[in-house]
Every structure is written in C-alpha cells, then in structure tokens.
Amino acid sequence: MILPSKRDPRLITIRRGGTLTDEHHQLLAEWAAQCAEHVLPLFEQEAPDDSRPRDAIEVGRAWIRGEVRMTDAHNTAFVANAAAKGRPDPAKFAALAAGQAVAVAHVAAHDLGAAAYAIRAAVAAAPAEEAETARLGERDWQRERIPAELRELVLDDQQARSLICWNVFDD
C-alpha cells in the first residue's frame, strides 16, 4: 500500500479540491519518471525484449506534454505492473516503479511509489552487505532531483508515508 488512507490536499489537484497546480503535478510526474528510469536497467537486463516498463515511462512523459489522456496513462500503469510478475526482485521493483511513475497522471501521490520502488530495486540488486549503502545512495540521488519548488512537499510526504513505503526514505 503506497497511498495513505487520508490524502494530503497538497498532492490533490485544484480541480479535485486540493491545492496542487497542473504545473506542479507535471513536475512530480517527471521526477517520478526520472526515479523509475534510473533503475530501469535492472529490468531490462532481466528482460531485454520486454519494453512495457520503458513504454510506461514514455507514456507518462507524453501525458506531461499533453499528448496522452490521463485515463490512457492510468491504464498503462497496469501494463507496467504486469511486467513485474514472476521477475526477480530487482527487475520486479523496477517495473513497479515504472507503473507508479505513469500512474502519477491519475494520482499525483504515486510519485512516492515510483521513488520507493526504485529504492527497493536498487537495494535488491545490491549484495546484502551493501544494501544500506544502496538504499541511501538511491534515496540521495532522487532527492537531488526533486524540483526545488516541490522539495519541501516531497520531503514532508516522505516523512509522513515512511512506514507504508517500507521506511526506504528514512535517514
């Protein structure tokens, strides 16, 4: 479960009763795409002929550009998630990160799902004795790429949802 039972109005678009602007929603979608794309090689090494996660990231970016409807982007999340089925953890989590990234078009709060799954992918790919270093490295890489105008929001959200995101954002 990546989404909280009570949603933060800062992550709900204005048209749905929250305070998130379309511009900020698009920035969150791009950040989520970057997080998923960073670990995508872990999937592609395992399944080089399966383009579903990469395609999902591209659909998310097409949504940002206004080329794809939100419902089409949302439906693509299920396709990326299906690519995870039966894969080893690094590949599985990388595919799930892509699914979460494209789902940001539907619900902005999926941005943290993309980031959390990307961290889980990096940890799963690391030797056990390097898992914590991998977690912190991926988390810090992501944090360096949070859009400046959204940094406080994303960091607050990471703290608020830490437990349901497997504590991957903890310091």
Note down the domain range covering 68.
17-165
Q: Is 94 within the bounds of a domain? A: yes
Percent of the chain past pLDDT 90, that is, above it, reads 96
- The mean pLDDT value for 99-118 works out to 98
pLDDT digits 0-9 by tens, 65-82: 999 999 999 999 999 999
Q: Is 6 within the bounds of a domain? A: no
Q: Report whether 21 contacts 67 (CB < 8 A).
A: no
Tell me if the pTM is above 0.75.
yes
Q: Is 7 within the bounds of a domain? A: no
Q: Is 149 within the bounds of a domain? A: yes
pLDDT digits 0-9 by tens, 12-22: 999 999 999 99
Domain count, the chain: 1
If you average pLDDT over every residue of the chain, what do you get?
97
| 2 — pLDDT class (breaks 50, 70, 90) | confident
Of the candidates 32, 50, 2, the one whose C-alpha atom is nearest the C-alpha of residue 154 is: 32
Q: Is 116 within the bounds of a domain? A: yes
Q: Is 12 within the bounds of a domain? A: no
Q: Is 139 within the bounds of a domain? A: yes
Q: Is 159 within the bounds of a domain? A: yes
pLDDT digits 0-9 by tens, 130-149: 999 999 999 999 999 999 99
Residue 45 has pLDDT above 90, yes or no: yes
